[in-house]
Every structure is written in C-alpha cells, then in structure tokens.
Amino acid sequence: MEKLAALFSGGKDSTYAIYSLERRGYIIEYLLTIYPSSPNSLYFHYPNIHLTRLQAETMRKKHIVEEASNNELEALRRIIEKVSQNVSGVVSGVSSSSFQKKAIENICRGYGLRVVTPLWGLDQGRLLRDIIESGFEVMVTGVAALGLTEEWLGKTLTLKDIDRLEEISRRYGVNMVGEGGEMETIVLDCPLFKERLEVLDYEVVWERDRGFFIIKDASLRSKG
C-alpha cells in the first residue's frame, strides 16, 4: 500500500484530506508541520499551530516540525527532504489556490515525489458540508475578511453556519474554506482521533478587521 506524508496544519482541510485518503486505502506515515514566524504567512496556517503536537498524538502518527523564518519555501523544502526517501508522495489539503499548489509541486518534483490533492477543485460549500457530515468538530480560530466578524471566533461550525458562509461568500467574494487566510480553523475531534482535543484556556484577540482565537491550554480527553 502506498505510503505518503501529509502537510498538516491541524485545520479542517489538511485533516480532512488525510481522512479522505485513508478511507481509500492510502497510508499516511508522517505529518509535516511548519511553524510560520508571522500571522501574515503566505503559505502556512498560523494560529494554534503548536497544538498539532496533540493532534498527531491522538492520530498515532509520526510528527515532524520545521520552523520557518523569512524563507518559508526553504522551510517547506527542508521538511519534505526529511521524508523524501520514505514516502512516494506528499498530501496537501489545498482546494483552489494554484499559488500554493504550484509551490508544493515544484519542491516535490525535485525529490521525485508526487503531490496528492484530494480536495482540489471541489465545490467549497459541498466540501464544508462533507467535513461536518463526516463527524468533524471544527472550531474557527482566525478570521480576516469582510463579513467575518468577531462572533465567528471560537465558533464550532454547523451546517447552518455553512449556509451563512455561502451568503457571505456571495456578498463579499470571500473564499468559503478560507484558503487565502480569510478563515483559520482547528479540528477538535474527527474519526481519525482516538481522543478529542479539549480547550482549557483561551484568549480572543481582535485587531481592526481581523482576529484570532488563541488557545492557551488544551489537552486530550477520552471520547467515552
């Protein structure tokens, strides 16, 4: 069976990409997480990225972390190089950003790895509904777009929220899945998790037209 490494931010898209591939028989051997140095990262998820350690633990997967400084693509190259001899490809949860997809493909090509993008080209509303209907508990941890106000921070997404996001998207042109940084998320529970992630302490930070739900403390709790 084919072994892959997955770029993993702890958010809904990267986690659901892993879930969808494992259901099709792929083996996701490694989770690759890059810690960006700034919330303005062009490529990588920023808020609560440190909690990927707990998510990897509850998924029972090997977790590799790389710090990014000014050159984010160099950090991506370094982390892919670490697993390049052990897998045949790299998984990305990208669904519509050609900018991100091409950057990943260019690096992987140099190591003879293919890029697997199971969410690519999917309808955004349908994708979000599939995620929720598959048993994912998804919390919004960052917003930076017209129509996405402070009330969204800390919200656990429901199907009714997807209806609201579709209306916001129609009105303001917002990418519903937040691929351009319009919305950031964290997965608290899903079928891949042996235990669920429980938020113990948090802080809401709002600056002009964007904000973050910063999880200061969290732990794994039994689903029973």
For residue range 125-166, list pLDDT tens digits in order: 999 999 999 999 999 999 999 999 999 999 999 999 999 999
pLDDT band at 189 (very low <50, low <70, confident <90, very high): very high
Instruction: Please give the CATH superfamily to which domain 3-116 belongs.
Output: HUPs (3.40.50.620)
The pLDDT of residue 180: 77
Among 83-87, 114-118, 170-174, name the one with the lowest average pLDDT.
Answer: 170-174
Q: Could you state, in order of their start, the residue ranges of all structural domains in the chain? A: 3-116, 124-222
Instruction: Provide the percentage of residues in the chain whose pLDDT is more than 90.
Output: 81
Architecture of domain 124-222: Alpha-Beta Complex (3.90)
The two three-digit tokens of residue 161, written as one number: 């929220």
For residue range 204-215, list pLDDT tens digits in order: 999 888 999 999
The pLDDT of residue 3: 96
For residue range 14-72, list pLDDT tens digits in order: 999 999 999 999 999 999 999 877 655 555 556 799 999 999 999 999 999 998 877 88
